[in-house]
Structure 1
């Protein structure tokens, strides 16, 4: 799944939209997203404002600067917590399934991803993500930088264990 997603991100021409409950991508995946931005692709990530695993939220917050610094849009979706996993690329590709974008899902667990190459379905799923972002709050780099030192240290500490979360 990791190689498939990196390949899909590399092939993107217009936009990449990701909505997952747990987001701890490896460096290769972050680099693929950053390279997409350099090609002019709009990248959007929708995460729960608070998941059921707080330590994963903290680890994620530690790495979000790597997206925001490259002008990717990151949103926190308010409750209720959604466990949806959805990746949309351009106007004709979607992936749904059980995998999160973290090492556990992409390397250790037996996950399933279903790829859809269907413009009508993708259009409906983009509408669903439009609704989700309308009810979400955009995160800024300034907001991350203004966290108190103790929060930044806590978030960095949990990032150290991101391969196991």
Structure 2
């Protein structure tokens, strides 16, 4: 383990020096290329900032209003029928929009049920098996100006369903 820690201290500086050295060896104006890339990066940030801010505000408002909890209570008969724990439904809904807000819900679930409980274990695995679909679609598609998503949303929601099922199966197997 100590060897891995030692190597990890040198990987990033090595990559930086290798990239700069390679560019210099090829005769590229490395610093000017860096500045041009930084300018494009700042421009991209400015372009996607409204989308990021909108998603963050929307998630905070919906979570603070208790709408996610109301939806979880309304859908609890369905979740019980498919053996999906109702306390995980707000996490799943918030996770579609924001990873950081979902982390807050996971913390709340840990406080209520414990991190080693079946709900806590499933929440942890759910965070690793799913993605914040609407955030990713909003940010990445806005950055490259994609307007027709075709089957992206359907595929992403199917993968969320598969990840959710996998988290419950894995949480059950871990507890056996």
State the TM-score, normalized to the length of structure 1: 0.29
**Greater strand percent: which structure?**
1
Whose Rg is larger? Answer: 2
**Greater helix percent: which structure?**
2
Q: Which has the higher contact order (CA 8 A, sep 6+)?
A: 1
